[in-house]
Amino acid sequence: MAGRPRGATSWWRNLANVAAHHANVLLELWLASAPVLEVQNLLFLLADNPEHLALLEECWRARGSQRRHTVPPKIKRKLCQLAVAHVVELRRQTILHQCNQAIERDLQRQGYSDGQIAAIMSRRVPDPLHVEPPDSEKVLEIVNRRAPPGSLRRKAKDRVSRILPS
């Protein structure tokens, strides 16, 4: 039998893997000196939380202006926390959207017009939805396994071997 073991899920269904993917993007943006405003635009779902924005700005201030090939462990951990918060909010928004679509389909089947459905949906207060966040240490562990292909990240021993050829 080829493929995943029975009961295993795709990587994108595992929130820790998705958060690690997002964290890798943040790490690459940090190494590439991407403008912090552009990164804030990518993390638009976190824009309402000043705590997350402060954490992002703190990471970018710590970067400085020198070219870097490694991300300090403290910064890496903070970027993983931001990635976890982002994917949790993304998953929550996705679930709410799917629920709203299901309600709209149900109302259409009951014979309501589009205008009536729009009025009903505008009055609807969504139920509070809790999405269990993945452990940020697990996300950090996944991120530390290896850099994605074409990464700007280098291991410290790689830099030494390029400076001092054997």
Per-residue pLDDT tens digits for 60-110: 988 877 777 888 999 999 999 999 999 999 999 999 999 999 999 999 999
- How many Cα atoms within 13 Å fall on the side-chain side of residue 141? 6
Maximum average pLDDT range among 11-15, 72-76, 123-127, 162-166: 72-76
Is residue 42 within 8 A of residue 86, CB to CB? The reply is: no
Name which of 24, 59, 21 is nearest 40 in CA terms. Answer: 59
> By the 8 A CB rule, do 78 and 59 touch?
yes
Residue 132 has pLDDT above 80, yes or no: yes
**pLDDT range class, residue 160, cuts 50, 70, 90:** very low
Span of 129-133, 135-139, 150-154, 159-163 with lowest mean pLDDT: 159-163
Determine the Cα–Cα distance for residues 96 and 13; give it in Å rounded to an integer.
Answer: 17
Average pLDDT score over the chain = 84
